[in-house]
Amino acid sequence: RMLTRLPGTHRMAQILLRQRFAEDALTRAISEKNVTQYIILGAGWDSFSVRCPALVSQLRVFELDHPATQFAKRTQLSERGFSLPANVTFVPIDFESERIGERLLASGFDPKQTTFVTWMGVTYYLHEETVWAVFKELAQTCQAGCVIAFDYASKPEYDKLSPKQHKRTRYFWRMVDIGMRIIGEPFRTLFNTQQLHERFSREAFTLSDDLTVGIFSQRLTQEERGYFHPAGRTRIALVSHSGLV
């Protein structure tokens, strides 16, 4: 309700701009890397499959999420007169007990086709070891290589803040922690950006972009940005892995 009343707030801007970042990168990857498959990891209410017919027509799309969420989404789409294209596959998965690679392969995913992955709005709710396990499994499953667009919450560097900023930042994160716990979705992982980059290097991933949503918005024209004013500590990044073949 708050987002509906205040659509220009930084949270709504983050949601829309991170998706623009991912889909711009997907468009480039189709032409530059011959991407033919698209995985939307934790797809939720992402409307890509009915919102972007020109891109969907060039891809095999796999939406991964919990079965209950997918059922609710299918119901909403049907009630609004939308039908999913034949090349869109919903892959039900329990991320706590099932492996992404196994579920993809069982759903017709071709590991020998170059793949793009979008993973937005998820990493901060997972334990750090789970996040890295997902990256590793994607690299192993996408044998012809993959590009992954994702977002993460950056860990505050308190030692670089003034006393006033230090106090304000600690208060902000305390309120975020309380609020997310109340709604049953506690934040579990914040990454130090430099350490994240170093880990990607060790895991044989190539990092090509990592920036705040606010900085990304500056790449867009004023008409494209509209009246949105993104803020906060959410970062969006793009990494790739060459695969196994």
3-state helix/strand/coil string of the chain: CHHHHCCCCHHHHHHHHHHHHHHHHHHHHHHHCCCCEEEEECCCCCCHHHHCHHHHCCCEEEEEECHHHHHHHHHHHHHCCCCCCCCEEEEECCCCCCCHHHHHHHCCCCCCCCEEEEECCCHHHCCHHHHHHHHHHHHHHCCCCEEEEEEEEECCCHHHCCHHHHHHHHHHHHHHHHHHHHCCCCCCCCECHHHHHHHHHHCCCEEEEEEEHHHHHCCCCHHHHCCCCCCCCEEEEEEEECCCC
Can you tell me the distance from the alpha carbon of 100 to that of 158, in angstroms, rounded to the nearest whole number?
36
Q: Would the pLDDT of 189 be above 90? A: no
pLDDT at residue 5 in the model: 60
Can you tell me the distance from the alpha carbon of 16 to that of 28, in angstroms, rounded to the nearest whole number?
19
Q: Are 25 and 149 in contact (CB under 8 A)?
A: yes
Share of the chain above pLDDT 70, in %: 84
Q: Would the pLDDT of 198 be above 70? A: yes
Q: Give 244's pLDDT tier (boundaries 50, 70, 90).
A: low
Can you tell me the distance from the alpha carbon of 103 to that of 137, in angstroms, rounded to the nearest whole number?
12
Q: Would the pLDDT of 186 be above 60? A: yes
Interval 56-69: pLDDT, tens: 999 999 999 999 99
Q: Give 243's pLDDT tier (boundaries 50, 70, 90).
A: confident
Interval 67-80: pLDDT, tens: 999 999 999 999 99
pLDDT at residue 3 in the model: 52
Interval 93-130: pLDDT, tens: 987 788 999 999 999 999 999 999 999 999 988 889 99
pLDDT at residue 179 in the model: 66
Q: Which amino acid is at 180?
A: M
Q: Tell me the average pLDDT across 204-221.
A: 92
Can you tell me the distance from the alpha carbon of 91 to that of 67, in angstroms, rounded to the nearest whole number?
8
The mean pLDDT of the chain is 87
Tell me the whole-structure pTM to 2 decimals: 0.87
Share of the chain above pLDDT 90, in %: 62
Can you tell me the distance from the alpha carbon of 157 to that of 207, in angstroms, rounded to the nearest whole number?
22
- Select the more confidently predicted residue: 27 or 223: 27
pLDDT at residue 196 in the model: 96
Interval 139-182: pLDDT, tens: 999 999 999 999 998 876 656 668 777 677 666 667 666 666 67
pLDDT at residue 156 in the model: 67
pLDDT at residue 4 in the model: 56
pLDDT at residue 226 in the model: 75
